[in-house]
Structure 1
Amino acid sequence: MKKFISILGLLPICFVCKAQVMITSGVPANPTPSNNAILQLYSENPNKGLLMPKVSLTATDNPSPFPNHLAGITVYNTNTSTVNNLTSVSPGIYYNDGVSWNRMEVQAPTVGDIKYSSTPDDHDGWYLLNGRAVSTLSSTARNNAAAVGFTTTLPNSTDRFLKAKSGTETLGTTAGNTSVTLTQANLPNVTYTNIVTQTTGAHSHTYNDRANGALNSTEGSTTQTVVDDGFTTLNTTSAGAHTHTFSISTGGSGTALNLQPKYLSAYIFVYLGQ
């Protein structure tokens, strides 16, 4: 009988209260299940956890070792499968959505990660890149800042776009301009000079000295007929050679071109830990 009692003492204690179930470890003085939980786990000593059933999955699209997919079922997978990169599995907790297995994981930030945010304040280990001295940060943030290359100050991201670091650049370097002024070297290789036309302009024109026949000539109130029977064809002289000179303006105002595209402003943070 004592042996039976001692075995029972090792079993968790279940309390049922209005359809709520609490599974406890140890014998708490007065455990009360939450009204919002169907099943609640409780440990008298805060050194216990929930151990998921361990199974060996083969692929996310394969329900094995279960006969079919069942939405809501959760397991710990122990297998590593690389049959297909799109359906491969690795050790971790998986839940089934009725169609396939999905790995449960939280994407935790890594020291040095950069992100945009709409809040201006430091939060949850994220520090605003505003040019402040590293010495003003917490000890953890100072150490992590130095580890990623920010030993004196944090970069100032005000009015800056992010770009990939080149091989010779120092991390956190700020440079560049929002506008540029073109110089002659930026223009096509064209030389503008004074232009003079050619002198080969000699030519002549043919004309009649007057019309052939009789014409009326009026002097005051008297009209008389003038007869001209000496009709001839005449030519102008060919001495018409000449030149014209004109210039092309090469001046300008040197107005700078704006390089900044349309944008949405936000705050830029670096993760330095908590």
Structure 2
Amino acid sequence: MAGIDGKRAFRALPRPGDVKLSLVRTDHDGWLLLDGRRLTPASHPRLFEAIGAAYGGDGRSTFALPNARDAFLVVAGAARALGSIGGTESHALTADELPEHDHAYSRTGRSTKALQVGAGVLPLSIVSEVTSTDAATGKTGMGKAFSLIPPYFALNAFVYAGL
């Protein structure tokens, strides 16, 4: 490493528990795919020391990798603790989730009446319009879930286990 002193080069190396995104499909060079599998502390002691059994396993003979498949990765903070899991791919709105609103109900009706005048009949057309806000408009919608997933580019997530 010409031009980089030893101390800076050491800091550039990944540490067990570091995560990266990649187009690589399989484990490689100490990096393990975050696929939820179980490992033994004896096979990956440095990684076990870094993450313990926080993602599964009994903490003695097994521990698990986090499962990042089909999930968006979110940086931990005040709203989401490190290692927390949440979210949903789709959602069907309930009435409680809709903003408060009113529906005006307007109806125009036309009826034809016959008016008897002497021996003849005179057709008569009467148009009436009624507007009401307390009348029911009927149900609409199917209650189907809709996607919450924004456009995406899928990558594999890996954790460094150490060499």
Shorter-normalised TM range: 0.5 to 0.7
Q: Deviations over 1:113-159 (max 9, x none)?
A: 11011223222221111111132743333333329x45532111111
The partner residue of 2:150 within 243, 253, 261 is 261
Identity %: 31
Match 1:112 to one of 17, 34, 39: 17
Given candidates 125, 138, 163, the residue that maps to 1:249 is 138
Amino acid at match of 1:244: V
Q: How many matched pairs? A: 133
Quickly say closer, same or farther: Cα 1:130–1:243, change in 2 above 3 A.
Answer: same
1:142 aligned residue: 48
- CA distance 1:112–1:75, change in 2 (3 Å): closer
3-state SS of 1:269 partner = strand
* Residues 115-264 of structure 1: pairs in structure 2 closer than 5 A: 115-135=20-40, 137-146=43-52, 149-150=54-55, 151=59, 152-167=63-78, 171-192=82-103, 244=130, 248-264=137-153
The answer to whether the 8 A contact 1:114-1:268 is kept is yes
Counterparts of 2:79 and 2:39, CA distance in 1: 23
Higher-Rg structure is 1
Q: Which residue of 1 aligns with 2:120?
A: none
1:145–1:272: 8 Å Cα contact kept in structure 2?
Answer: no
C-alpha distance after superposition, 1:193-213 (max 9, x if no partner)? 76689xxxxxxxxxxxxxxxx
C-alpha separation between the residues in 1 aligned to 2:85 and 2:141? 31
Cα distance in 2 for residues equivalent to 1:250 and 1:263 = 35
CA–CA separation in structure 1 for the residues paired with 2:79 and 2:99: 31
* 1:248–1:267 CA distance, 2 compared to 1 (3 A): same
Cα distance in 1 for residues equivalent to 2:16 and 2:30:
9
TM-score normalised to the size of structure 1? 0.40
Moved over 6 A (4+): none
Q: Give 1:248 shift.
A: 2.6
- Name stretches of at least 5 consecutive residues in structure 1 with no aligned partner: 1-73, 77-91, 94-103, 198-239
Shift of 1:266: 1.5
Q: CA-atom RMSD, angstroms?
A: 3.5
Structure 2, unmatched stretches of 5+, are: 109-125
Cα distance in 2 between the residues matched to 1:105 and 1:185: 56
